Amino acid sequence: MSVVDSIRSQMVPIHREGYPFIAAFAVATLVLFAIWQPLGWIGLIATAWCTYFFRDPPRVTPIREGLVIAPADGTVSKVAHALPPKELGLGDTPLLRVSIFMSVFNCHVNRSPVRGTIEKIVYTPGKFLNADLDKASEDNERNGFVITASTGRIGMVQIAGLVARRIVCFTREGASVGAGERVGLIRFGSRVDVYLPSGTVPLVAEGQSATAGETVLADLAGGPGDLRTFVTG
């Protein structure tokens, strides 16, 4: 392996959605250096942060049928039963909802929590409240998915936050997706909710860190290999 290939293999890929922003930050940094060097250094730090924000690292996703995988990097902010958004058509009975809050320092590429078919995608305009608030599920701008899997219908909702102003969707209705496959991105801090079928037992707790495409949120298949047997207290 050449030195160039060796260096390249150690670099975290940057998602293409970030290129225009990184370029804008870089140009602004050059202008700031021309105006006053200390401002240029501030711009350089901001450019480095922007590059870091749009990182898109590879992930190794567990592939056993029935596993529900975290769709986002961040902190599990809520594990509780809640009514799913009406636009998803998941019924009017509270379902287990796992919410993952992403700070501006988390990777913001979102991934499918299960393998299945995208049954529905619904974009809903709204407010830009703090994404960590409960009412953000109903009031904030959001993009919802219903994914039909072999173990049932799963809801996933990208929610904009105080800083986030753009939700990007990478897939379409009718598309087949694999667990851990990239399906969207939210720019600059937000939250992703996952709604799970009735009776689901969570395998994560509030305050836990989640890694998109890797952390197991629940096991819908159960059986002898049920991961719940390894969870205590």
- Could you tell me which residues are beta bridge partners of residue 152? 149
Lookup result for tokens 């225009």: 20
61 in Cβ contact with 36 (< 8 Å): no
Could you say which of 99, 112, 137, 190 is catalytic?
Answer: 190
Active site residue 190: yes
CA–CA distances in Å: residue 133 to residues 87, 159, 162, 211: 20, 11, 11, 21
Active-site positions? 190
